[in-house]
Amino acid sequence: MTTLNYHFSGVAGAGMNPLARLMRARGHRVQGSDRALDQGLMQETAALLRGEGIALVPHDGAAIGAGLDRFVYSTAVEAETPEWRAARALEIPMLPRPALLAELVNAGRPGVAISGTCGKSTVTGLVAWLVEAGGRPATVIGGAPRIGEGIAGGLSAGPEHGPTIAETCESDGTLTGYRPDLGVIHNVSRDHAELASLREQFAAFAAQCGHLLVNAGCPEAAALGREVGARSYGVPADADFPLRVVSTGPDRARGVLGLPGGHLTLDMPLPGLHNLENAAAAALVALELGGSPKAIEQALPLFPGLARRFEVVGVTPAGIRVVDDYAHNPEKIRAALTTAQAGCDRLVAVFQPHGYGPARFMRAELALMLPRLLRARDRFCFAEIFYAGGTVARDVSSAALAADLPGSIGCAAAHDHAAVVEWVTAEARPGDTVLLMGARDPRLPALARRTLDALGGPALP
């Protein structure tokens, strides 16, 4: 193996740090930068990266030298940073994070690509759990850290020439770079781009998969699957692997997945139909990788859950449940809200948009969806839009999003996290569920815990 010198620009990101760590684990020399680290944020991530032998440098371009072989950049960071300009001037090969991920998946034996606009992190995390329980070494990239695992999640570094399973994202149009032995299209909904554009991208991905699994419960995914002769799973009775729902909550979801000549009992320790569908997809991938139905049935109920995927942070002595969730597009928000509502009489919900571009993109859809979903007794607040820095146009605000909703909803807007905590403590009543939603902002887990503490802290066991 040729040892290469890598620089990861945006190394602290959830999609970037697992790749940097994997390249280091495979013997390459790795350095990285991130403006969040320059701002003193994400120090736990910084310690993890340094502990695994990754050198951290300022995000100012000074560390970009001619000795680098590859400059890997996050598509979440705008172009024309000082690092970009330095790498281009030195003619260092530059590749976006998804291109490196596609290289790894396409070289896997087999390579598995899990796609969809919702749920792919949970499916990937479940696959990692089930494959690990089955005893087969594999590289799994993506998902989120398991609850209790800290920030070291998102990567299981298996043998270089073994199975490689990855969460693959459509947000930047790069699904077309994957040519996996097995692909999954879990769902397709308007996110990051309009449906017409997404259909084209997912269709190209579907055509490049050796074998493909699609969720029959999603009309868009099912239609794509029919075009290429994919096998399907899900609630519809005509699915190749039909899913019979036993229950979807309030604390866990149960169902039975039909298999050729038998069935698989799914006992998913997270509520909601969407989580039962996640479990079905993960179980089928695990079966394709040689797992046994018995091992999957035994491992699934023990799944600890993933950080910020309907994570119950705690329950106060007054019975107020605080839930932290990564929901950040309308479909994810719909799933989180309806799942939370099923387990409580009254919901107090907060959503922080994860950027100004995303806020503009989903503004009209949220204005239509939220009045239909929220019950008269529920409460809702927009936290101020997350700003990660850079030159993005800051031409919309959470106050404007709140004003889009009918006055009868009484939607609030909080200008910072301290205001979020203040609003929640004023609104929450005994027995309520408090649901905090958002992505990208590394301070959100701490916000959930601050909110729990402000409400009286977790009840004693």
CB of 139 within 8 A of CB of 159? yes
Q: Residue range 11-23: average pLDDT?
A: 93
Q: How far is CA 66 from CA 87, 160, 396, in A?
A: 8, 28, 41
**321 inside domain:** yes
Percent of the chain exceeding pLDDT 70 equals 98
Whether 170 and 317 map to the same domain: the answer is: no
CA 329/CA 251 separation, integer angstroms: 23
CB of 20 within 8 A of CB of 49? yes
Whether 281 and 388 map to the same domain: the answer is: no
**459 inside domain:** no
pLDDT score of 142: 87
Choosing from 92, 119, 141, the residue where a domain stops is: 92
Choosing from 75, 92, 109, the residue where a domain stops is: 92
Q: What is the largest CA-CA distance in the chain?
A: 64
Q: Residue range 23-46: average pLDDT?
A: 94
**253 inside domain:** yes
Apex CA 447: angle with CA 116 and CA 422, to 5°? 125
CA 272/CA 366 separation, integer angstroms: 21
Question: Is the pLDDT confidence value at 101 over 80?
Answer: yes
For the chain, what is the mean pLDDT?
A: 93
CA 161/CA 32 separation, integer angstroms: 26
- What the block records as the tokens of 96 is 């976006």
Apex CA 125: angle with CA 208 and CA 246, to 5°? 100
**223 inside domain:** yes
Domain that holds residue 23: 5-92
CB of 97 within 8 A of CB of 19? yes
Strands 262-268 and 253-259: antiparallel
**460 inside domain:** no
Number of domains in the chain: 3
Whether 68 and 107 map to the same domain: the answer is: no
Whether 85 and 108 map to the same domain: the answer is: no
pLDDT score of 149: 80
pLDDT score of 245: 97
- Among residues 63, 176, 166, 133, which one has the least CA distance to residue 297? 133
pLDDT score of 191: 65
Burial of 309 (0-12, 13-18, 19+ CB in 10 A): buried
- Among residues 434, 428, 430, 432, which one has the least CA distance to residue 447? 434
Whether 226 and 328 map to the same domain: the answer is: no
Q: How far is CA 446 from CA 97, 432, 441, in A?
A: 27, 20, 10
The residue type at 24: R
pLDDT score of 150: 75
Percent of the chain exceeding pLDDT 90 equals 82
pLDDT score of 253: 96
Burial of 129 (0-12, 13-18, 19+ CB in 10 A): buried
Residue with tokens 């950040």: 328
Sign, CA dihedral 26-29-34-39, equals positive
**164 inside domain:** yes
Spatial strand order of the sheet with 379-383 comes to 311-315, 321-325, 433-438, 347-352, 379-383, 412-414
Q: What is the pLDDT of residues 245-303, one digit of tens each?
A: 999 988 999 999 999 989 999 999 999 999 999 999 999 999 999 999 999 999 999 99
CATH of the domain at 40: 3.40.50.720
CB of 409 within 8 A of CB of 370? yes
CATH of the domain at 297: 3.40.1190.10
Instruction: Please give the model's pTM, rounded to 2 decimal places.
Output: 0.89
**327 inside domain:** yes
CB of 88 within 8 A of CB of 68? no
Q: Residue range 324-343: average pLDDT?
A: 94
Q: Residue range 49-78: average pLDDT?
A: 93
Whether 148 and 263 map to the same domain: the answer is: yes
CB of 180 within 8 A of CB of 154? no
- What the block records as the tokens of 264 is 């698989």
pLDDT score of 461: 65
Whether 118 and 223 map to the same domain: the answer is: yes
pLDDT score of 152: 65
Whether 123 and 47 map to the same domain: the answer is: no
Residue 154 in 3-state DSSP?
coil
Question: Is the pLDDT confidence value at 174 over 90?
Answer: no
CATH of the domain at 424: 3.90.190.20
Question: Is the pLDDT confidence value at 459 over 90?
Answer: no
Choosing from 52, 74, 92, the residue where a domain stops is: 92
- What the block records as the tokens of 192 is 């990051």
**154 band by pLDDT with thresholds 50, 70 and 90:** confident
Whether 82 and 230 map to the same domain: the answer is: no
List 139's β-bridge partners, or say none: 164
Whether 106 and 87 map to the same domain: the answer is: no
CB of 336 within 8 A of CB of 437? yes
Question: Is the pLDDT confidence value at 244 over 90?
Answer: yes
**338 inside domain:** yes
Question: Is the pLDDT confidence value at 30 over 80?
Answer: yes
Question: Is the pLDDT confidence value at 240 over 90?
Answer: yes
Whether 221 and 296 map to the same domain: the answer is: yes
Question: Is the pLDDT confidence value at 42 over 90?
Answer: no
Q: What is the pLDDT of residues 384-442, one digit of tens each?
A: 999 987 778 889 999 999 999 999 999 999 999 999 999 999 999 999 999 999 998 98
Residue 383 in 3-state DSSP?
strand
Q: Residue range 229-253: average pLDDT?
A: 96
pLDDT score of 193: 62
Whether 192 and 327 map to the same domain: the answer is: no
Strands 262-268 and 155-156: unpaired
Could you say which DSSP state residue 458 is in?
A: P
